[in-house]
Amino acid sequence: MVKVKVFSIGKSREEWLNLALFEYEKRLQGKMAIEWLFVKDDEALISATRKETVIALDPHGELLSSEAFCQKIGGLGAHLSFVIGGANGLPASILKQARAIWSLSPLTFTHQMTRLILLEQLYRATEIERGSSYHRGEPHGSTTSRRA
């Protein structure tokens, strides 16, 4: 089973969002164990991730298709750590130490929504891996990585 740590600023206060996060955590049971580490601010985020090998989620990172995301996480082993920044993005020191910087979209999302999008993509990756109909793939002719 893959163990996933997600470092993020703040907690989810919206009940609908907590329900959605719980739904994806439930779907991931037996495939991935999700551990949430919430901190108060950038300083605490830097401190919490200092000794971690993280994948930074940043709108300016490498933009991946769901298939490429699946392939990349599959090649990283059984322990994954993602870090999500707050309203001002991620501190430069975290971006500098990250093993990879990935973008979930060129759009800007709140850190709460980013958590949900990340979990959905992790679930989608497990479904791509098992060949289920949950993921229907991209249209013919699309590329797996649109930005380097």
pLDDT tens digits for 27-41? Answer: 999 999 999 999 999
Does 146 or 3 have the greater pLDDT score?
A: 3
Does 87 or 79 have the greater pLDDT score?
A: 79
pLDDT tens digits for 49-78? Answer: 999 999 999 999 999 999 999 999 999 999
Q: What pLDDT shows up at residue 41? A: 95
What pTM does this model have? Answer: 0.88
Query: CB–CB of 48/130 below 8 Å?
Result: no
Residue type, 16: W
- Burial grade of 10 (CB within 10 A; 0-12, 13-18, 19 or more): middle
Q: What pLDDT shows up at residue 119? A: 98
pLDDT bracket for residue 11 (50, 70, 90): confident
Q: Measured between alpha carbons, how far is 78 from 58 in angstroms, rounded to an integer? A: 22
pLDDT bracket for residue 145 (50, 70, 90): very low
- Helix axis angle, 15-28 to 111-130, nearest 10°: 20
pLDDT bracket for residue 133 (50, 70, 90): confident
Q: What pLDDT shows up at residue 6? A: 98
CA-based nearest residue to 1, from 26, 34, 23, 24: 34
Query: CB–CB of 5/52 below 8 Å?
Result: yes
Domain 2-132+142-147 part of CATH 3.40.1280.10: yes
pLDDT bracket for residue 148 (50, 70, 90): very low
